[in-house]
Structure 1
Amino acid sequence: MEQKKQQQQPGTAACEPQIWIDSVNQKNKADLLEWMKGYAIKLVQVNGQRTYGGPPPGWVGGAPPLGSEIFIGNLPQEIYENVLIPIFQTVGKIYEFRLMMTFSGLNRGFAYARYPTKRIADLAISKLNGYEIQPGYKMLVCRSTEKSELVLDGLPGFLDRDLLTSILGGMTTGVHAVSLYASRTTDMTNMAVVKYNSHKEAALAKKNLCEGVQVLYGCPFTVSWLQQSMKHKIQVGLMEKPNAYLPPACDDVKPEKITSNAVQCLSLFCERAKLGQPVYQIKFLGHGTFGWLRFWYKVVIPNHDVPFSGYSWLVGDKLIPTDKYQQAKEMVALHILKELGFAVD
């Protein structure tokens, strides 16, 4: 009974309840709770990893640079942050500590610690690699790979870098840079390399993009980590420039300057081609996961034989109605430009 009361102490709710539901390793779990209470430590568990900091209380300034995170392996499964964090704090302040967890509440044998600088991370590696944390358990401590770049492959050729950056900024956080290349797997589509500010933001972005609707303007796309072999080809200039399309038949009506605003671009194209101005019908249908908003559209261009219609998605759960409509209209216009064989350069 005393154990149950201790688990319900205020300040411990940040730990997910399911990690305490069985009798596995109860003494160490109780020690962890006591340590959290005594030092006012907050731990947050999400999807199999438990995190301290990121940033910790009292942190001033931005996130540490890439290269400041270390990997910690060969851990006894029954020990927790109350043992590990004090050890890794002996070399310097910890910005973030992430312990990988099983459902039963044991650790998975590895963790990550992020320090304010690369120098402190190097010091932790030199001092703690091979440290015997328990008899028979010498920790492996080395530099974390800290992947921060994703590859989105199969993107439509009319998406330019600025527009794609804007779209990803609404779907994920921490986008640092976007580069476009011709796809190496699918004809007439493009591949984007998206660099994030941190491994954590990149991992969350990958999760969100894979769980969301992996279609942009009717084109299915894949999401993966940037592999070293691909990175090398980019660095030595072996990747082809992104695809962009404009049928020869449209050369005589191509605007002198194509704007990044797809609605304006389509309007100008229709004016030059004497097709008449597009008439948009958009109906919003409901929300999906991660803020996706599904909508139906129909666009009639007076002198074009067939109207354009279909379904699409945008990230619109926090937009006011007029902004939702304008963003949907922009997406539809881009889709029609693709159908007409037109490209926004």
Structure 2
Amino acid sequence: MALLNWVRETGIDLVQINGQRRYGGPPPGWVGSPPPVGSEVFIGKLPQEMYENTLIPLFQSVGKLYEFRLMMTFSGLNRGFAYAKYSNWQGAKEAIATLNNLEVQEGCTIVVCKSLEKCELSVDGLPTSVSQKGLEAVVLGATEGVLSITLHASPYQKKAKFAVLKYSSHRAAAMAKKTLMEGNVRLCGENVKVGWLKPELKEKLQLCKEKHGKHLGSPEQVLRSLKLCDVLDCLNTLCRQQCLGTPRFFTNMALALQGVPVGAGRCAKHQWA
């Protein structure tokens, strides 16, 4: 009742989707691009009877909130953790310094730390017959915000393939994870396992990539192996810093295959949204 009364009094809009209740993202009156990476904090050890009417004012007291997400159970209780994203990284830093280990109830202190903002999923158990184009068709058709899709030999299963899916944000990756795990999408096999990409596995894949980087093959093979994720990360960061909006670009691969530099003439151009 206290939560409902607070929502009526403040006019705050809370939207519950897929096991979480969200405020903002963006909040009313927000102008410009979303906050940069590093602006979000993880909040743990929350009492189950504590809700947004207490939490949002508390976390707004140290900085301007862009988004607040409280994880919910099917019965309507909070799951004991939440995420608060601030308008900049200074807000997140202040939240950690001020609110970590704060006693919110007698004998109950909360944890506030930097959010990892995971953006990469692992897909294991793909059949060896799956192709890059086939996997891309399924993933791009079922999920949004995909930056790159890479295929590898499975480190866990013989005669199977392993894929890494990178998304533009943690939210996009989380939504994709839920979609791909629900079973409504046939992901190139029946015994496929979808999860967050583990840091140690990511490091192992990177080492393998560097080890085999000297054997580049033909120009066509090189172009096929190039990944847009690093380029897009840099471009998105630059656009946010310069307030240019979302970047859009076009590349003529036919000219690139002929040896024409990508940035030359009509081979590539940039448009700023």
Q: Do both share a fold (TM > 0.5)? A: yes
Indicate yes or no: 2:67 matched with 1:93.
Answer: no
Amino acid at match of 1:79: M
Distance 1:89 1:216, change over 3 A: closer
Which of 180, 183, 192 does residue 151 from structure 2 map onto?
180
Q: Shift of residue 217 of structure 1?
A: 5.1
Q: Secondary structure at the match of 2:205?
A: helix
State percent identity of aligned pairs: 53
Amino acid at match of 2:204: K
Distance 1:134 1:177, change over 3 A: same
Indicate yes or no: 2:209 matched with 1:209.
Answer: no
User: Hey, what does 2:138 align to over in structure 1?
Assistant: 167
User: Hey, what does 1:149 align to over in structure 2?
Assistant: 120
User: Hey, what does 1:129 align to over in structure 2?
Assistant: 100
Write the deviation string for residues 298-326 of structure 1: whole angstroms up to 9, x where unpaired.
Answer: xxxxxxxxxxxxxxxxxxxxxxxxxxxxx
User: Hey, what does 1:235 align to over in structure 2?
Assistant: 206
Determine the C-alpha separation between the residues in 1 that align with 2:80 and 2:154: 38
Indicate yes or no: 2:3 matched with 1:64.
Answer: no
Distance 1:207 1:131, change over 3 A: same
Q: Shift of residue 34 of structure 1?
A: 1.8
Q: Shift of residue 121 of structure 1?
A: 0.9
Distance 1:33 1:130, change over 3 A: same
Amino acid at match of 2:181: C
Indicate yes or no: 2:45 matched with 1:74.
Answer: yes
Distance 1:90 1:218, change over 3 A: closer
Write the deviation string for residues 9-52 of structure 1: whole angstroms up to 9, x where unpaired.
Answer: xxxxxxxxxxxxxxxxxxxxx22212211221111123432111
Q: Shift of residue 220 of structure 1?
A: 5.0
Q: Shift of residue 240 of structure 1?
A: 8.8
Q: Residue 41 of structure 2 contacts residue 115 of structure 2 at CA under 8 Å; is this kept in 1?
A: yes
Structure-2-length-normalised TM-score: 0.68
Q: Which runs of 5+ in 1 are unaligned?
A: 1-29, 242-255, 261-345
Determine the C-alpha separation between the residues in 2 that align with 1:142 and 1:176: 27
User: Hey, what does 2:55 align to over in structure 1?
Assistant: 84
User: Hey, what does 1:250 align to over in structure 2?
Assistant: none
Determine the C-alpha separation between the residues in 2 that align with 1:129 and 1:217: 44
Q: Secondary structure at the match of 2:90?
A: helix
Determine the C-alpha separation between the residues in 1 that align with 2:91 and 2:79: 25
Q: Residue 23 of structure 2 contacts residue 67 of structure 2 at CA under 8 Å; is this kept in 1?
A: yes
Indicate yes or no: 2:168 matched with 1:197.
Answer: yes
Determine the C-alpha separation between the residues in 2 that align with 1:103 and 1:31: 20
Indicate yes or no: 2:16 matched with 1:38.
Answer: no
Determine the C-alpha separation between the residues in 2 that align with 1:219 and 1:102: 28
Structure-1-length-normalised TM-score: 0.55
Q: Which has the higher contact order (CA 8 A, sep 6+)?
A: 2
Larger Rg: 1
Q: Residue 215 of structure 1 contacts residue 221 of structure 1 at CA under 8 Å; is this kept in 2?
A: no
Q: Residue 150 of structure 2 contacts residue 163 of structure 2 at CA under 8 Å; is this kept in 1?
A: yes
Distance 1:65 1:195, change over 3 A: farther
Q: Secondary structure at the match of 1:235?
A: helix
Q: Shift of residue 176 of structure 1?
A: 1.9
Q: Residue 100 of structure 1 contacts residue 109 of structure 1 at CA under 8 Å; is this kept in 2?
A: yes
Q: Secondary structure at the match of 1:78?
A: coil
Determine the C-alpha separation between the residues in 2 that align with 1:41 and 1:175: 31
Higher mean alpha-carbon deviation, 156-165 vs 65-74, is at 156-165
Counterparts of residues 329-340 of structure 1 (less than 5 Å): none
Counterparts of residues 295-334 of structure 1 (less than 5 Å): none
Q: Shift of residue 190 of structure 1?
A: 2.7
Q: Shift of residue 101 of structure 1?
A: 2.7
Amino acid at match of 2:96: I
Write the deviation string for residues 59-88 of structure 1: whole angstroms up to 9, x where unpaired.
Answer: 223333333221112223222111111111
Determine the C-alpha separation between the residues in 2 that align with 1:65 and 1:165: 27
Report how many aligned residue pairs link the two structures.
215
Determine the C-alpha separation between the residues in 1 that align with 2:99 and 2:155: 43
Amino acid at match of 1:139: I
Q: Residue 178 of structure 1 contacts residue 193 of structure 1 at CA under 8 Å; is this kept in 2?
A: yes
Write the deviation string for residues 236-265 of structure 1: whole angstroms up to 9, x where unpaired.
Answer: 236998xxxxxxxxxxxxxx99xx9xxxxx
Determine the C-alpha separation between the residues in 2 that align with 1:173 and 1:125: 31
Distance 1:59 1:217, change over 3 A: same
Counterparts of residues 197-276 of structure 1 (less than 5 Å): 197-213=168-184, 215-216=186-187, 221-237=192-208
